[in-house]
Structure 1
């Protein structure tokens, strides 16, 4: 037990050091080492794990989007040699994304969910599963995309069932789940109506209870509510624009690095 705690403390120090120096691959690796000690993670440790992987994957997702645009532009201009080089880089990044997503998904299934003892932890991990399968669905095709989409939906639904039973509407993890699940419906399922209904329900349920929260919880919840509100604004057609014949356009990358899609940090966001 003493050796386990010593190792845990060591890896946590490495993870915090890596976060401060923005070495997120090292951060994710250190937190994976903590997980494989076979211990239930604290809220802070869940947060460190999530932040590490989010930043690693966020950078790769951004690279994939840029390379995809470059490839398309080179193809459109007829420069097939440059297009082939861009495509080679794109495939390499997609392979890295697949490997990293599969790594954390196995960790969640093999270690994190079996050891979770609270509803909050279970929601956190099922939400993570939904997020990482969603990242795969963003670029996979055919049967692989169908499988990633199906697994993402199942994970989000499992998280929602527990959240509605165990967590109040103002809980930041529950709100973060609603935020990301609605993005799934908007971006992956192309179901704007479902995305808006889900986001609005979460927003209204939480807003009705904000007055009962303490200051720390209030700040956490209102931050996520603002993000949900931003998405609703993007996704809801403007009647004046419709009358003028203008098309309402959603911002590209709503679930990406421009903070519309947060990995909610338990107890710290």
Structure 2
């Protein structure tokens, strides 16, 4: 496994693979890897001849400087996970390498900028769109893999690929969960022991909402019951809890057609912002 830190090194590392016509898969990450990330690597390994993982804590997608500062950086242990999983190239650039000058470009993703994550994280998806565009240009993968835990990010990137005609296949992979239901996340390591015991209730809230909708409750009725659910767990500070259409993430009034209902939430616990969703 090669670890490269510059765009030039990456280009050189990929050159021989390209000359041989080998298929290339890309798994973009911000590091602090866990088994959820490794599941993406495994899928990428199964479907491509070359596996590239990027590790870059992208400053342009953080609206909170303190959150950026606290984001875990664990390159050495990340590489220890990636190599046995079959990763061929790790691209781990510095911020200066990725942004020799601050980008002047601004990408507007339409309605996705104003709901859920877009509503609460100003400029977040602009930062995501720019850095992922850079990675797509640098690696030129046949396929790129993202986790469904970041459902809105997947929707944003699908729009990016379609509107800018990136010649690749965007693949969303299922969320991996701990045995108690908590979605795997790099942020989980920042939870205290007590908060970690409470954290699975975020997924329990999603499951409860799903059951209520299946029973015929409206979105408004379901929201009311979920509000009461969170009031009983004061350790949580919910930011949003939305019942939406899977395709455009716009709010819906009742359960959608099969496979087209998304329930998404974000909440603070122990000072850590957790997100999760289910689609059914």
TM-score tier, shorter chain, comes to under 0.3
Structure with the bigger percentage of strand: 2
Give me the TM-score of the superposition, normalised by structure 2.
0.27
Bigger helix fraction: 1
Q: Using structure 1 for the length normalisation, give the TM-score.
A: 0.28
